[in-house]
Structure 1
Amino acid sequence: MAAQFGMRLRKGAATTAVAAVVVAALSASQAPGATVDDHGRSSAADAQSSPDATGSDEGGATGNSPYYTDLPPLNSPNPAPSPTVGTPVVQGDGEAGIPATVLDAYKKAATELAESKAGCNLPWQLLAAIGKVESGQARGGNVTADGTTITPILGPQLDGNGFALIQDTDNGQYDGNSTYDQAVGPMQFIPSTWAWAGRDGNGDGVKNPNNVYDAALAAGHYLCRNNWDLSVQADLNRAILSYNNSQDYLHTVLSWLEYYRKGTHEIPNGTGTIPSNRSDDDTTDPTPSHTPSTPSKPTHPSKPADPSTPPSTDPSDPSSPPTTPPQTPTDTVDHLEDSGTAKLTATAGEAFAKKISTKAETKAGKTVAKVRVRFTIVGTTDATFTGGESVATVVTNASGVAVAPALQAGEKTGDFTVRATVVGRSVTALDYTATVTQRVADTLARTSTTALTCVPGGEFADQVEVKATYKDAVADKVAATATLVKSADDATENDKGPYFKDADGKTVRTLKGLTTDANGLIKLPKLYADDTSGTYLLRITTAGGATLTVELTVAAPADTSPSPSPSGSASASATP
């Protein structure tokens, strides 16, 4: 059977409250940026009670599933010493050791994020801290060589009974449960979040939440969305809270983050320490304090049950009638409506000025709050949401409206679609069309004032270089065309006069596919002249309509030989 997290959360339990106080107190001493008030209560700097819903599912990556509450030892960890011949390696504190494959997955994920999202500044120790709290480092590194957990790690079903209510979104594909969702794998993603956050971290072509390489990379991208910089304490807190929206969870993760930053070492797979305390531990001892005596045989027959007495609804009583799950806001959604979204247009490489706004409504047209709306970018495009993701899930506000994150245009021009759907309910999708237009320039100017001249059959000494601007700013990556035209009034390509050469040395009088560089510059290839003298025109045009006409002169050189001297009279010869 799959390894599954244990008993339900018992709200207000005494030991849970005590644990929360201990967590807060210890986190205050170990978490960066943490403070303690006059009553000894701790709070991480700029922590917020609820994470920014932008780009995340309600309940975060895990659906606010239970987690391990064990705190790191008070003593600082020490890395394992380097082995010498004949000397056994002392592993040091077992809590500081991270199973080899799991540790490798964390480090590789952080390396990939350092390249793809350098501004996030994700430390691998943060992945290790979350992995410790979520699954005890994949249950002590109980994984295969490729990083897949030997036994699936599943959280309890999120049926609203002590947990969030998240009805099935994956038909049981990941969690084997076709009624409710469950958190899956070493980083405990719920299926609806994995659907957009999942990554292939080990390069096998599959996004598997049960694989620690895939899960670690997905967790890294999840924590790095919304342009968060995890070297900034406020952003770090927001990212952790978006993973599991709990202050105790935040403090516990920050404690392990600091602990791992002070030092850790690699240990063999399957030998890691598994935490023992969880946020859903039941504090009530189910075992009675004494053994009940055998009931005596009744001397009178039992009376039939009073028909006016309602039947038992105790779920532990097999004779109880099945209970109907409570209706959620999602269950009441009939359709999605646009909520005043303006025309979505942006220039390549720029951010869209407007955001998509979608409203969830019942059949009667009443708005529905607390519904997860998923926005997915479809079509041939490199546009993304802010943070580089192609999918974002947003919870509708009190007015029933979900506002998608800002769109960022890529370099591909044309139309694409953003599709809005309701997570956990089959309703007709709502599609929005977005358009990416090409970069443009409104002005072109030569970077030199040198006259461009050449002798017939020769080559021009100077190459033509121009600079493109748009609204007085540098216009980079703007498409342009250069053509040697017949006249100022006739833009037809000339058949004589100056010319360019292609790669094979053939005559070319039109250059297409030119693009301005990062400084808005285009430097044309060298120009040559045939044997025809005259004045010619080179016309350069950019996307957006900026045009510049450059004059070229082909003429024989002026005669610079000295004029002959007038003939004088013969000199008289001297006579002796």
Structure 2
Amino acid sequence: MAAHIRRRLRKGATTTAVAAAAVAALAASQAPAAPLAEGSTGGDQQTAGGESGGPEDGAATGNSPYYTDLPPLVTPNRPGSSSNLPAATGSAEAGIPASVLAAYKQAERTVATTDPACRLPWQLLAAIGKVESGQARGGQVDANGTTPTPILGPALNGQGFALIKDTDGGAYDGDAVHDRAVGPMQFIPSTWATWGQDANGDGRKDPNNIYDAALAAGRYLCAGGRNLAVAADLDRAVLSYNQSTEYLRTVRSWFAYYQRGTHEVPDGSGVLPTAPSTPSPSPGPRPGGTTSPTPGGTTSPQPSPSPSKPGATKPGPGPSKPGDGTTGPTPTPPPRPTPPPKPSPPPAETFGSLENAGTGPLTATAGGTFDQRVSVRARNALGAPMAKVPVTFTVTGTTGTLFEGGKKTVTVVSNADGTATAPTLKAGEKTGEFTVTATAGTTRPRTLTYAASVTARQADKIVRTDDKALVAAPGEKFADAVTAKATHKGAAAAGVAVTATMVKDGPGLIGNDKGPYFKDADGKPLRTLDLTTDADGLLQLPEIFADENPGTYKLRLTTEGGGSVVIELTVQAPEETAPEETETPEA
């Protein structure tokens, strides 16, 4: 960590003239960006906690140190200006590691869904990630977006930094005495406890995971109803992260730079921050004037730029004559402008692997809709999420299950985070097992196969639709039909299998071999029958007949899904009525 701390500027140090020159040059050379809000001044001024607009007292990072590298200048230096401005060269600085870039863009999409009024741009997250950790140390993350070792700031012990005593027992930062900023976005543990997110769906809120940290940073910046399209709100959001106007200017510079264009680079190959860009001033020529050694051991000072316009300065007197014992200033012609380098095209990605992206159990009842959708993630040969990969999903089996739209095969292109999700599955009417296969790649195809099943329609309850007594004489037919209704979670259960059985008392109500019965196609007694409810969940049983054995009997109806009802049937002879006595007339 010490190597990284040496490359970071201690918060609260006075900005040197070199840094001021760098900011001025940047402001003059870069494409225009949203101006700093009124009241945001130059220098490394520390703002009051209440003025930062932060969601809570203090700052997300505890005002920890940060990298002060500035983006490349896109126009040449003016004549006579310092050639030691703190800027990297080439288009490599515009490259953002694949997983890190995917995390920023995913956070932007998520926040746009939950807080559209914030208008969070992913480039702002990229700017903060650059300043806080050099894009997770150049994209050193694993396949899940987690750094191999924690990225930790110095102990916030009040010696040059804020004093923040331990709040997490060392759980995140390994320090049980003082808190430290943690992870690619440098959250202090107390802030993470409030704003931590689980963006990659692994069930953990991990500040060392770039997906979790990027979403947390996005939500933190949007707090308090901010609209980041408004310059003042954006400034307040950045200052809530680190209460330093120099920090604000550095983040603003990278934000503007990334808005003009970026490209994706493989994880682990991002540009790392260089040495601190604000060295301490030393006695000698003022900034802008340089000295260079000459063969005689003497030095010839180079002229500093004058207040006039570039090119308006007249050359001074020529060099002194040999032997006069003097040395004089030698005018330096203005350097020719050098066009900015053209960005090199990003290296072509190679498809590497296909993995499950959180697909749950694939089960549905016949004719129903599957709650889960098959989702996979494509990765390149380096293990980073890969966008624009065609993934073909195919249903195989005899259940009649199809994708939404009636198709057995569909092709979906992976999005920015590498995920491709198949359309919703519609279960067929036949129960049983089937599979869904996801395939990607042409030269070396990768395949994932998911097991799925269609189960019988369910009813958790069945009841009679009336309460009429069911009575018949021996050898006769029951006059009233038996009707019932099946439901599942209170809704009518259509197409549910129902078994009707004549039973008698005993363990489990065993089947009866006498008493009421149904008739089969040949008219023979039948005491068990398989039936199905209609579209409204209703069921009407066929005619029931009584044999010659009087008594009280039971009919049980059971459904797929656990519904059950027992209905009483009575077989009894009709009551005999005495003949009426008639009077015989007397003779």
Which has the higher Rg, Structure 1 or Structure 2? 2
TM-score normalised according to structure 2 size:
0.42
